[in-house]
Amino acid sequence: MIAGDTSFHSIIHARARIERALRKPETRDGYYVRDRLIKYHLTQTYASHLRAESVMLIRAALSKSRESGGSQNAQLSCEIVEGLSLDSHPMAVTMASAVAAGATVQLGRSPSNGRSSYTAIDMQIGGFSIAVNLDGRVVISDADQLDAALECLRSK
């Protein structure tokens, strides 16, 4: 956003970008919007340290119930979730598999760096901390625990 941009103009710009992404989801703009919205879609929380443009994209994508006084953790509109295929995003698919295997989402900031990135979702499974990355990869912070964590995932 340019300096001095008002919230009104920022939200209009964000809605226009979402509309372009919905018309052509397989473009760079489509992937950009999809990647900025996926963490909110899965956790209903904002990542820390987001740029103003990313915050506006999320706000512009919220369902109309939020704009008329809906709950604090409003969901993205169904049109956007379906139009951008958010439920088939690699992060969503991997996270669903991890949850089915018994993993739980760990909301809040990462203990390693004090941030909550839009590119990863922290989870716990069987006492192990894992992160599901934007591209669907599962990362474990302690390499010595990798085999035990994988066995835990497989056994569920």
Three-state secondary structure call for residue 35: helix
CATH architecture group of domain 91-155 = 2-Layer Sandwich (3.30)
pTM confidence score: 0.77
46, 91 contact by CB (below 8 A): no
pLDDT for 44 equals 87
pLDDT for 63 equals 74
pLDDT for 54 equals 83
Nearest to 45 by CA among 120, 99, 102, 96: 120
Note the maximum CA span of the chain.
55
pLDDT for 8 equals 64
Query: Is the pLDDT at 94 greater than 90, yes or no?
Result: yes
| Per-residue pLDDT reduced to its tens digit, 14-67 | 999 999 999 999 999 899 999 999 989 998 888 777 777 888 888 899 876 544
**Rounded CA gap, 25 and 28, in Å?**
8
Average pLDDT over residues 120-126: 86
Q: Which residues on adjacent β-strands are paired with residue 104?
A: 124
Average pLDDT over residues 137-143: 77
pLDDT for 135 equals 94
30, 84 contact by CB (below 8 A): yes
Query: Is the pLDDT at 3 greater than 60, yes or no?
Result: no
Three-state secondary structure call for residue 112: coil
Three-state secondary structure call for residue 63: coil
Cα angle 100, 105, 108; round to 5: 175
133, 120 contact by CB (below 8 A): yes
Other CB atoms closer than 10 Å to residue 60's CB: what's the count?
22
Domain locations along the chain: 7-84, 91-155
Contacts for 47 with CB less than 8 Å, ≥ 6 apart: 39, 54, 115, 116, 117, 118
| Per-residue pLDDT reduced to its tens digit, 98-122 | 999 888 988 765 555 566 677 888 8
pLDDT for 35 equals 92
